Structure 1
Amino acid sequence: MIHHPTLRIIDIASDPGDLSRVNEDAAGGNRSCAFVIDGATGLGGKSIVGQDGSDAAWLARLAKTFFEQEVVSGRPMSDVVRTLNKQAATVVQESSAGLPIAAWSLPVASFQMVRVDDAAIVTHGLGDCRLFLADADGTILETSAMKGNHAAEREGARRAIAHAGGLAAIKALSDDPAVREELRRRRSVYNRPEGNVWTLGTEPAAAKHLSSEPISPRLPATGLLCSDGFAALCDQYGRYDPAGLIGKAKSDGLKSLIGELRHIERTEDPNGEAYPRFKVSDDATAVLFEIVA
């Protein structure tokens, strides 16, 4: 009799970057998968669908429900993403009452998932969420659908902070008109052939650009799926390496890591001088899980 690997979620935590705004991240799972979703904050303009003023939060919640129901044995992940994006596109079209929608204002979200399907373990993603995984031998795997993105984003944030005269004064760089225009220009080519960023959202063709990597860790393995706002502890602030981050999540829990993250952002470096970033604090979400034989 063949024993297939089993995935179990140990802990989930999610914290809004700004208490006055809705959290635009989501996370969850079912018997065969665990995932994290990071909705991209709108760039000014009226929300199309979001009842709480956030199309990104609407999309993240829709994707969470859809993944939990539709990621089932034997169904290809590309089919799940294509169907989800088709559904989102229909809702956005109906909600806009036929009015034209600027490309930069369409809802978009990143995700990263670990999926166990029969004997295969695969990680799937779009955008800049992260997976850190430690196997039974202590071998570390880390990946993202957009590898190395945090370095480019840090450089963009550094230039924008210099232009705006500091981060704390405006809370989010996207509130600065010149910075917002540049961010809109970049976002308007998401999910288009001339761009190189594909996401969950309203474009079914994004399914063709899904990043899927088969992984074969020695079991048992323990992993973290996280939004870039949480992964900053490792990628931006250098407080942990991937093994240390997984170990700390196991020993102290995800909430304590979020507390540490917020202390760095709000007490140590609120102005973004040591760690250039586009917001004082981003939404931060993580899922701690294990895969056993």
Structure 2
Amino acid sequence: MPNIRIIDSITAPGSPSRPNEDSAGGNASCAFVIDGATGLGGTSIVGLHGSDAAWLARFAQSTFEELVRNGRAVADVVRELNQRVANVVHEAANALPIKPWNLPIASFQMARVEGEALFTHGLGDCRLFLVDADGTMLETSAIKAAYANERDGARKAIALSGGFSTHQALADAPVVREELRRRRAAYNQPSGSVWTLGTSPAAADHLVTEQLTVALPAKGLLCSDGFAALADQYGRYSAAELVRAAADIGLAQLLQELRHIEQVEDPDGQKFPRFKVSDDATAVLFEVVA
């Protein structure tokens, strides 16, 4: 039976003035990253340092590590996780109505050994890059090419808001925030196409699962979109090069390179359009061996 071993991991907030809304973890059979979506100006419901997204990221981490065991289906775990979240959120809200865009949500991507096979499961825009023993490169996300849509949206938001010279996070600009609220309100809705970790157990029915046919041993990198930007947005590495660099020089050095691009080379977001100067960045480097 194949085994997963975590080699390295890192998680860091995009700004020292904001809580880290990412998390990562794993156990004997899986590794995963979780990316909480920053709130859009509403009142914190559960709150961890004022951030429901930070609370959800950590709650999901501990729940995954508890429940993703003994062959239990990941869809069942997601359903139970989201039901637990819904219970906490609605109890904390004290029966007050919650705007749909103000509900906590998070993306995740997981690699998991199931019997003799390797699978990946996800919701949202986290990323998996994997290089197998033959040098074959696999990459995936639950929302394909989400990074391209993110870049296009950020370019429009910069034009509307005046950019980072006016707002360090473009969602602080009222015209941008209202559009983001409109989009987020459509998440986890029967008529929508985006499903996440959060308060909707029905998201389990939309879990994106892929079996990965790879030659072992293989090395993989699970990333929040903030870390995957080194390949997806900034073009400093191909997907395969990013995995190899993570193994060769370590995730901490890659994080330093990421922040240098964002804070020194392109602090105004004109070369690489994005919604924040720096996003939270999380990655897990792992290997799968026979």
TM-score range, shorter chain: over 0.9
The secondary structure found in structure 2 opposite 1:263 is helix
- The equivalent of 1:286 in structure 2 is 283
TM-score normalized with structure 1 length: 0.98
The secondary structure found in structure 1 opposite 2:272 is coil
> Would the aligned equivalents of 2:106 and 2:198 in 1 still touch at CA under 8 Å?
yes
Q: Identify unmatched segments of 5+ residues in structure 2.
A: none
TM-score normalized with structure 2 length: 0.99
Cα deviation for residue 51 of structure 1 reads: 3.3
1:106 pairs with one of 103, 110, 117? 103
The secondary structure found in structure 1 opposite 2:152 is helix
The secondary structure found in structure 2 opposite 1:132 is strand
The question of 1:128 aligning with 2:130 is answered no
Cα deviation for residue 120 of structure 1 reads: 1.6
2:76 pairs with one of 56, 79, 86? 79
Deviation digits for residues 60-113 of structure 1 (CA, Å, limit 9, x no counterpart): 001000011100122111100000000000000000000000000000000000
- The equivalent of 1:20 in structure 2 is 17
- The equivalent of 1:138 in structure 2 is 135
The question of 1:68 aligning with 2:68 is answered no
- The equivalent of 1:192 in structure 2 is 189
Q: Tell me which moved more, 99-108 or 44-53.
A: 44-53
State how far apart, in whole Å, the 1-side matches of 2:228 and 2:48 are. Answer: 29
The question of 1:159 aligning with 2:187 is answered no
> Would the aligned equivalents of 1:131 and 1:225 in 2 still touch at CA under 8 Å?
yes
> Would the aligned equivalents of 2:40 and 2:102 in 1 still touch at CA under 8 Å?
yes
Cα deviation for residue 165 of structure 1 reads: 1.6
The question of 1:88 aligning with 2:85 is answered yes
Matches within 5 A, 1:163-242: 163-242=160-239
Q: Which amino acid aligns with 1:75?
A: R
Q: Which amino acid aligns with 1:16?
A: P
Distance 1:32 1:95, change over 3 A: same
> Would the aligned equivalents of 1:39 and 1:108 in 2 still touch at CA under 8 Å?
yes
The secondary structure found in structure 2 opposite 1:7 is strand
Q: Identify unmatched segments of 5+ residues in structure 1.
A: none
The secondary structure found in structure 2 opposite 1:162 is helix
Cα deviation for residue 223 of structure 1 reads: 0.4
The secondary structure found in structure 1 opposite 2:253 is helix
1:147 pairs with one of 144, 147, 151? 144
The secondary structure found in structure 1 opposite 2:202 is helix
Q: Which amino acid aligns with 1:9?
A: I
State how far apart, in whole Å, the 1-side matches of 2:123 and 2:3 are. Answer: 24
Q: Tell me which moved more, 156-165 or 76-85.
A: 156-165
Give me the CA root mean square deviation: 0.6
The secondary structure found in structure 2 opposite 1:273 is coil
> Would the aligned equivalents of 2:48 and 2:54 in 1 still touch at CA under 8 Å?
no
> Would the aligned equivalents of 2:158 and 2:170 in 1 still touch at CA under 8 Å?
yes
The question of 1:37 aligning with 2:34 is answered yes
The secondary structure found in structure 2 opposite 1:112 is strand
Aligned length: 290
- The equivalent of 2:243 in structure 1 is 246
State how far apart, in whole Å, the 1-side matches of 2:118 and 2:244 are. Answer: 22
Q: Which amino acid aligns with 1:169?
A: T
State how far apart, in whole Å, the 1-side matches of 2:81 and 2:246 are. Answer: 31
Cα deviation for residue 168 of structure 1 reads: 3.5
The secondary structure found in structure 2 opposite 1:229 is helix
Query: What stretches of structure 1 move > 3 A for 4+ residues in a row?
Result: none
